[in-house]
C-alpha cells in the first residue's frame, strides 16, 4: 500500500505540473517563453484517497469434486468415487452401482467446502466384502484423506463413529446444512434381516478437517 501510495503521489505530482504548465501557456502570450510553474502559485491537488484504488475480491475458488478416499488405519484406498443423487421413490441417498466403489452425494458440499460432505459405500456384496467393509473398525482420532479432481487432498480427523438403527437414522445430523466443513462416511452394520435383505443399522463416521 505504501508503494502504491507513493506511485500515486508521484503520478499526481506529474499531473499537477502538466496541468499548471498548460495553464501558463494558455494565459501567456504566444511570444513569451514557457516558464517553469510556480508551485506556490498553483498548489498540487491532494492525492487520490486509497479507497479509489480498492477492488473487491472476485476470485471465487471452486473446490474440486472428490475422486477417492484413503483411510490408512483400515488399509482403504477406494477406486474412483461415483457421484450420487437421491432415490426418486423415497428420497434416500442413491447407492453406488458398483459395491467395490464408494459414492459422493453430489448435491451436497464437496469435501473441504463449508458444510457436511457425505460419502457412502457398501459394506458387503452377496458373497464378499465391499468397499466399506472395515469402516465399522474406525475410531476417533484416525485420519481420512479425500483426494480431489484437481489433485488436491483434504485431510480429516474422525471425531466419532456411531452405529444407529436405520429406523432411527439421524438425517439432520448427517445431511442438514451448516457452514462448518465436515465429512460423513456411511455404510451398513448390525444384524442382517434375511427376509428384507437389509442390515438393520447404519455405521456413520463423522470427521472434521484435520
Partner 1 sequence: MLGASLVAIALVAGCVAGSGGKPAAAPASRAAIEAAPLPSGSSGTDGSTDGGLAGAEPAGGPVTPGQFTLQFQALLGQHTMLAADMMRGRIRNDPDVAQAANAAIGKNTDALGKLFAAELGTDAAQTFAPLWSGHVTGLFNYARGLGAGDETAMAQAKLQVTQIEDKLADFFAGHSHGQLSKQQAFDGVADHINHLLDQADQYAARDYEKSDATYREGYAHAFTGGQALGTALLTPTQAKVTETPSWRLRSALTQLLGEHVELVVGALRSGATDAPDFKAAADSVNANTTALAGAVGTLFTPAAGHSFEQLWADHIDLLVAYSAALAKGDDAAKAQITQGLNGFEARLSAFLSTATGKKLASQQLAKALNAHDSMLRQQVDAFVAKDYVTAHDVAYSTYQEMFGLSGQLAQAFGETVAKRLPVGAAQTGLGGEAAIIGGR
- How many residues line the site for partner 1 (CB under 8 A)? 70
Instruction: Based on the shown chain and the rule CB under 8 A, indicate whether residue 114 belongs to the binding site for partner 1.
Output: yes
Q: Smallest gap, in angstroms, from Cβ of residue 29 to partner 1?
A: 35
- Which one-letter DSSP state was computed for residue 152? -
Q: Which of residues 37-96 bind partner 1 (CB under 8 A)?
A: 48-52, 54-63, 86, 90-93, 95
Interface with partner 1 (CB under 8 A), residue from 67, 113, 142, 153: 113
Interface with partner 1 (CB under 8 A), residue from 69, 76, 105, 154: 105
Interface with partner 1 (CB under 8 A), residue from 81, 123, 146, 158: 123
- Which one-letter DSSP state was computed for residue 110? P
Instruction: Based on the shown chain and the rule CB under 8 A, indicate whether residue 141 belongs to the binding site for partner 1.
Output: no
Interface with partner 1 (CB under 8 A), residue from 133, 144, 158, 161: 133
The Cα 158–Cα 161 span in angstroms is 8
First to last CA, the chain: 35
The Cα 200–Cα 38 span in angstroms is 91
Residue 105 neighbours by CB under 8 Å, 6+ apart: 84, 85, 93, 117, 118, 119, 120, 175
Candidates 11-19, 75-83, 121-129, 144-152; binding stretch for partner 1 (CB under 8 A): 121-129
Strands (E), 89-197: 103-105, 116-120, 143-148, 153-165, 182-193
Q: Smallest gap, in angstroms, from Cβ of residue 39 to partner 1?
A: 21
Residue-wise burial string across 82-98, b where 16 or more C-beta atoms lie within 10 A, e elsewhere = bebeeeeeeeebbebeb
The Cα 99–Cα 25 span in angstroms is 85
Residues 161-200: x where in contact with partner 1 by CB under 8 A, - otherwise, as a string: -----xx-x-xxx-xxxxxx-----xxxxxxx-x--xxx-
The residue ranges that bind partner 1 (CB under 8 A) are 1, 48-52, 54-63, 86, 90-93, 95, 99, 105, 107-110, 113-115, 118, 120-130, 132-133, 136, 166-167, 169, 171-173, 175-180, 186-192, 194, 197-199, 202
Amino acid at each position: 500500500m505504501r508503494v502504491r501510495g507513493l506511485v500515486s503521489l508521484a503520478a499526481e505530482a506529474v499531473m499537477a505540473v502538466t496541468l499548471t504548465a498548460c495553464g501558463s501557456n494558455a494565459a501567456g502570450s504566444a511570444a513569451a517563453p514557457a516558464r517553469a510553474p510556480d508551485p506556490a502559485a498553483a498548489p498540487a491537488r491532494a492525492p487520490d484517497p486509497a479507497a479509489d484504488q480498492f477492488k473487491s475480491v472476485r476470485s471465487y475458488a471452486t473446490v474440486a469434486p472428490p475422486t477417492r478416499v484413503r483411510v490408512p488405519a483400515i488399509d482403504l484406498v477406494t477406486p474412483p468415487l461415483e457421484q450420487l443423487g437421491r432415490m426418486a421413490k423415497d428420497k434416500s441417498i442413491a447407492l453406488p452401482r458398483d459395491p467395490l466403489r464408494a459414492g459422493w452425494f453430489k448435491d451436497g458440499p464437496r469435501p473441504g467446502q463449508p458444510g457436511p460432505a457425505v460419502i457412502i459405500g457398501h459394506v458387503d456384496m452377496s458373497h464378499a466384502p465391499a468397499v466399506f467393509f472395515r469402516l465399522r473398525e474406525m475410531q476417533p482420532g484416525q485420519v481420512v484423506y479425500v483426494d480431489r479432481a484437481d489433485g488436491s487432498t483434504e485431510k480429516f480427523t474422525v471425531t466419532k463413529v456411531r452405529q444407529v438403527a436405520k429406523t432411527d437414522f439421524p438425517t439432520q445430523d448427517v445431511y442438514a446444512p451448516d457452514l462448518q466443513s465436515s465429512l460423513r462416511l456411511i455404510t451398513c452394520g448390525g444384524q442382517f434381516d434375511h427376509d428384507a435383505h437389509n442390515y438393520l443399522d447404519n455405521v456413520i463416521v463423522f470427521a472434521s478437517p484435520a
